[in-house]
Every structure is written in structure tokens, then in C-alpha cells.
Amino acid sequence: MYKISKRIFDIILSLILLIIISPIMGITAIIVKLDSPGPILFKQKRVGKDGEDFTIFKFRTMVVNAEKIGTGLDSYANDTRVTKVGKVLRNSSLDELPQLFNILRGDMSFVGPRPPVTYHPYKYNDYPPSAKRRFEVKPGVTGYAQINGRNELSWDQKFKYDLYYTENKSFMFDLKIFILTIFKVLKMEGSYDVDKNEKAKH
């Protein structure tokens, strides 16, 4: 019943949000296009449920091919690869809005472990057994790790939160994470990585 009710919730809420915020998404798309050369959407292969790859959608917040420049996949405060509009989109989490289409397609859910790229921090088959359990559920736009530090966490810390979520998932737990995410977004926390030395202090 949990899986069925969660999927129904995902479909209904994503449809409602897409209808309501379509003007915002349209304006955002235009601004992204005018702000810097390149596509409006950032598309990237991610690892989903049961290790299946899918393409995630975001509004582009960085220069084209940013992952091949500078610090690669890590993005720190004052990262010069982030566009002017991209800074606003990241801090407000508006860059995540296109993932509503991922939810409708069934690639993702509103709540679940964030999907990693296909080669970092590991390839799917190389994940430690406990960490691999995060792929037993659909990835989410937000998750338990996101309300406990987001990008400021090390991968080991993210794995612990993801494992806890996987073992304790419920509709009420999802609702709690969803509500707390709203507060996190309003406070604009955790949009960027912190350096390894800082992560070691957490």
C-alpha cells in the first residue's frame, strides 16, 4: 500500500505543481537562455532504482561542460562556473523544478535518496553492500540526507542517512521530509559543497 499510495501522490502532486508553476518555469527557461550560451536544461545520466540509469533534468546553472572544468562535480561557494542566474536558481532550488517530469515518468519520487551520477562516487557494482541499499527505492528530489546537510555532507554521511531512510520509509516519514525540505529551501541552506577539511569536522 505504501508503494501504491506514494506513486499516486507523486503523480497527482507533480501534475498539480506543473500546472500551477508552468508560468514560473517558462520565465525561468527564458532567463537561463538569455543569461549565458548553452541549453536551457541540464541533462545528466544518474543511477536510479535497482541500479537502472536514467536521465535527470534540471535548469542549467553552470557554464556548458562545467563538470570537465575546475573542481569537476564538486561546486563550492563563489564557483566561477556558476552563472549569475544559476546562483539564484541554486539558492532557491528552482533549478530542480524540471525533475517534476522525472517524477511523472516514474524515474524519481518526491522523496528518496538523491540519485548519484553513474561514475561517482562509485560505479553501481562497486558500492559497498550497505550503501547499495539506497538503490532499493526510487531516488528523490529531496531526501533524509538533504534535510540533514545536503551537499555539506560527505558521501559516507549521506549513505548513513539514505540507509536509515530505506529501512524506515513510510508515508508519514516522507511527509516529514517533504515539509522540512520546504523550510530548508526557504533558508537557502546546503546549495554548495564544502571542502574536504570542513566535511571532516562534521
What is the β-pairing status of strands 109-111 and 140-142? parallel
**Residue type, position 28, single letter:** T
DSSP 8-class letter at 91: H
Q: What integer best gives the mean pLDDT of the chain?
A: 90
> What CA–CA distance (Å, rounded) separates 115 from 137?
10
Q: What pLDDT does residue 179 have?
A: 94
Instruction: Give the mean pLDDT of 89-99.
Output: 93
> What CA–CA distance (Å, rounded) separates 100 from 94?
11
Q: What pLDDT does residue 71 have?
A: 67
On the CB side of 72, CA atoms within 13 Å amount to 5
Q: Model confidence at 194, in pLDDT bands (50, 70, 90)?
A: low
Strand pairing partners for 45? 55
Q: What is the pTM of this model?
A: 0.87
Q: What pLDDT does residue 44 have?
A: 95
Residue 143, sorted as left (phi over 0), alpha (psi -120 to 50) or beta, turns out to be: beta
